[in-house]
Amino acid sequence: MPRRRTVALLAAALVAGPAACSTESEDTLTVLAAASLRTPFDAIVADYQRDHPGTTVRVSYAGSADLAAQVREGAPADVLATADEVTMAGVVDAGLAEAPEVFATNSMAVVTPEGNPAGVESLTDLAKGDLDLVVCAPQVPCGAAALRVAEAAGFPLRPVSEENKVTDVLAKVRAGEADAGIVYVSDAAQGGVETISIPPEHNTTTRYPVARLAGSEHVQAADELVAATVADGTGRGAGHLEAAGFGAP
């Protein structure tokens, strides 16, 4: 074979090599998850990627209402996990998600900055007019849950600020920008605040559903991630949700 042709073939092989590797199938899953799920979901996703080499999972955390709005507006995603069933039902009813499965539960707690400078001792102290209270907005699952708690206790909420996700409530309390806040038990367990339990007769339970989105281009991989999430919450996985303070479904 002429030397010139040999060199040309070798050059072509070198060019084709990286290109061939780059065309290997690799799934990239996009997950939209409620902000309160960050700690356990980061761990669940890490386990999933370890067990599914070649699959990358990207998670976007935000308030459930914002995530549902993103789905309705056509944002490309594969899996949705919300902090309540009402928000998920709206997505399912619009034909944008498959049948959801509940994988965890949560309840509410009162949190104060470390040292509890305002001297909050109980849930009913939140009715004091001179207390700076921060909660989630009513359209957000954690805000709707806070309203149910207040209604059960027989007093109205008078927050100085309403946030779009529970992690923002927690951050403001941690920073001392509020005297108290109402968050999920799992968020209170993250530390940096003092926690005051809410009596069972006044508390409320939220149920977290997860579903594959109808527009997913990675059906099998998305279904496997949904199954891994459900398994973790029901005691058949590593128990990341329980370790983060969530209850079983």
- Annotated binding residues for molybdate, written as ranges, equal 36, 64, 166, 184
What is the rounded CA–CA span in Å between residue 32 and residue 63?
10
What is the rounded CA–CA span in Å between residue 208 and residue 85?
7
Sign of CA dihedral 99, 105, 111, 115: negative
Q: CB of 195 within 8 A of CB of 186?
A: no
What is the rounded CA–CA span in Å between residue 60 and residue 183?
20
H helices of 154-249, where?
Answer: 166-174, 185-188, 219-233, 240-243
Binding site feature residues? 36, 64, 166, 184
What is the rounded CA–CA span in Å between residue 171 and residue 163?
10
Per-residue DSSP letters for 67-129?
A: HHHHHHTT---SEEE-SSHHHHHHHHHTT-B---EEEEEEEEEEEEETT-TT---SGGGGG-T
